[in-house]
């Protein structure tokens, strides 16, 4: 428990008012109270015994009511996210198949499992993360049973089940558990260059999020050139989509290392492949195409710390027809990156505007993704932030 938690509630009000850089008069005006009332509350002369008043104060101060009261409560959504990650970890940590324990449930036919995996992927791409959390443990168990029963037809859906699991765990801020899922995917895919390339997409993301960027770049390049067609013009769209996506992953790893030359070369190479694929496709759940590559330029510019370049690339990319064809998850994640860029350019107005759009497209990107919550906290600290975001930050207990 921190020292602030030991203070009386009135002193905590004063503490957070100071953190928000509000004078007693401004704070009183926003509450619809007098300055004298605020002063008495902060000095402990007047008690706060109405829940509605505490909630009003919490909204103005952009904190959770539990924080104001000093309770040992996690911000809204955090406990649920932690519980969801632990359920998925448990599903990934079972060894029923290896130990040849009798199946507690019937084995799904491979074609049914393929449909189930596709449904979970679609739900993920619509950024319905709480629903995906509920679906993934059973999906993993079903995929493992089907593969054990019939390894041929069951192999592809098993790899895809692990891939979508890893993607979800990365969104939930659990790269360590995501690594377990993607490691399982790589092992299951071994021997099939297409499946290996598909699983390597999530491997690259896991390596970056785990801070292993120098390992990520050579691994991504090895996977990319293993699937690359001898001549780009004659490559199939699925092959080019995997190869180009892996090149993008390598570029993003290079960006984290500050290697702007490698970033430009790799993204340009991916752009050549994207031109052959065109927008509006989703081969191997990559969403790869010219617009996706342009968004990758934005993400790389963010990593390189070039905020002005980020904004310029963003404005060009989002005017393309391909922008509206990308999954909601992809677009909202991009907008969170752009929000960070606007914050770096000291432009809170546009930061609030872009984050509001991200919340409209995919609320779960902000409500359930730690990276989104962090950006929301930064935006909501500014007095000029949209009221909707200030209230959202208060509801989620971020700030």
End-to-end CA distance of the chain: 18
Q: What share of the chain is helix, strand, coil (3-state, %, to 5)?
A: 75, 0, 25
* Closest alpha carbon to 13 in 52, 73, 74, 55: 55
Look at residue 328 in the predicted model and tell me its pLDDT: 97
Look at residue 50 in the predicted model and tell me its pLDDT: 67
* Closest alpha carbon to 84 in 119, 129, 118, 125: 129
Going residue by residue through the chain, which has 399 residues, state the pLDDT in tens, using 9 for 90 and above.
Answer: 444 455 678 888 888 888 888 999 999 999 999 999 999 888 888 877 665 787 788 888 877 676 676 654 455 566 678 888 999 999 998 877 776 665 556 889 999 999 999 999 999 999 999 999 999 999 999 999 999 988 899 999 999 999 999 999 999 999 999 999 999 999 999 999 999 999 999 999 999 999 898 899 999 999 999 999 988 888 999 999 999 999 999 999 999 999 999 999 999 999 999 999 999 999 999 999 999 999 999 999 999 989 888 999 999 999 999 999 999 999 999 999 999 999 988 899 999 999 999 999 999 999 999 999 999 989 988 878 888 888 888 778 776
Q: Is 369:173 a contact under the CB 8 Å cutoff?
A: yes
Q: Is 239:253 a contact under the CB 8 Å cutoff?
A: no
**Any idea which architecture 78-327 has in CATH?**
Alpha Horseshoe (1.25)
3-state secondary structure 271-336: HHHHHHHCCCCCHHHCCCCHHHHHHHHHHHHHHCCCHHHHHHHHHHHCCCHHHHHCCHHHHHHHHH
Alpha carbon 131 to its chain centroid, in Å, reads: 15
Q: Is 292:274 a contact under the CB 8 Å cutoff?
A: yes
The third-level CATH classification (topology) of the domain covering 3-69 is: 434 Repressor (Amino-terminal Domain) (1.10.260)
- Torsion-angle region of 78 (φ positive above 0: left; ψ -120 to 50: alpha; else: beta): alpha
3-state class of 71 per DSSP?
Answer: coil
Cα separation, 267 vs 294, in Å, equals: 9
Domain with CATH 1.25.40.10 in the chain: 78-327
Q: Residue with structure tokens 């089940």?
A: 161
Domain with CATH 1.10.260.40 in the chain: 3-69
- Both tokens of 235, joined, read 């490559």
Query: Can you point out the beta strands (E) in the chain?
Result: none
Query: Can you point out the beta strands (E) in 230-385?
Result: none
Q: At what angle do helices 370-380 and 348-361 cross, to 10 degrees?
A: 140
232 secondary structure, DSSP code: G
pTM above threshold 0.85: no
């Amino acid at each position: 428990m921190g020292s602030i938690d030991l203070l009386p509630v009135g002193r905590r009000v004063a503490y957070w008012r100071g953190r928000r850089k509000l004078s007693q008069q401004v704070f009183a005006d926003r509450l619809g109270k007098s300055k004298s009332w605020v002063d008495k509350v902060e000095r402990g002369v007047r008690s706060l015994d109405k829940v509605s008043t505490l909630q009003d104060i919490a909204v103005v101060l952009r904190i959770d009511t539990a924080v104001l009261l000093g309770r040992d409560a996690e911000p809204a959504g955090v406990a649920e996210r932690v519980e969801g990650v632990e359920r998925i970890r448990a599903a990934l940590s079972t060894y029923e198949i290896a130990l040849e324990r009798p199946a507690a449930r019937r084995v799904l036919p491979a074609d049914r499992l393929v449909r189930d995996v596709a449904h979970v992927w679609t739900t993920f791409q619509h950024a319905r993360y709480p629903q995906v959390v509920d679906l993934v443990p059973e999906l993993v168990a079903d995929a493992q049973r089907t593969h054990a029963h019939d390894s041929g037809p069951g192999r592809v859906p098993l790899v895809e089940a692990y891939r979508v699991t890893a993607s979800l765990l990365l969104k939930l801020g659990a790269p360590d558990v995501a690594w377990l899922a993607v490691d399982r995917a790589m092992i299951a895919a071994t021997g099939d260059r297409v499946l290996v390339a598909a699983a390597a997409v999530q491997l690259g993301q896991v390596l970056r999020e785990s801070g292993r960027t120098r390992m990520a770049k050579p691994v991504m390049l090895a996977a990319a050139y293993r699937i690359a067609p001898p001549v780009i013009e004659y490559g199939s769209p699925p092959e080019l989509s995997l190869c180009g996506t892996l090149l993008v992953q390598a570029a993003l790893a290079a960006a984290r290392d500050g290697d702007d030359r490698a970033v430009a070369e790799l993204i340009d190479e991916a752009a050549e492949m994207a031109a052959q694929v065109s927008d509006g496709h989703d081969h191997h759940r990559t969403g790869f195409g010219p617009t996706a590559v342009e968004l990758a330029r934005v993400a790389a510019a963010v990593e390189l710390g070039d905020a002005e370049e980020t904004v310029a690339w963003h404005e060009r990319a989002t005017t393309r027809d391909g922008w509206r064809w990308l999954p909601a998850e992809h677009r909202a994640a991009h907008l969170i990156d752009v929000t960070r860029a606007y914050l770096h350019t000291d432009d809170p107005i546009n930061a609030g505007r872009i984050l509001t759009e991200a919340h409209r497209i995919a609320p779960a990107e902000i409500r359930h993704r730690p990276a989104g919550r962090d950006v929301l906290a930064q935006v909501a600290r500014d007095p000029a932030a949209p009221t909707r975001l200030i209230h959202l930050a208060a509801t989620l207990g971020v700030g």
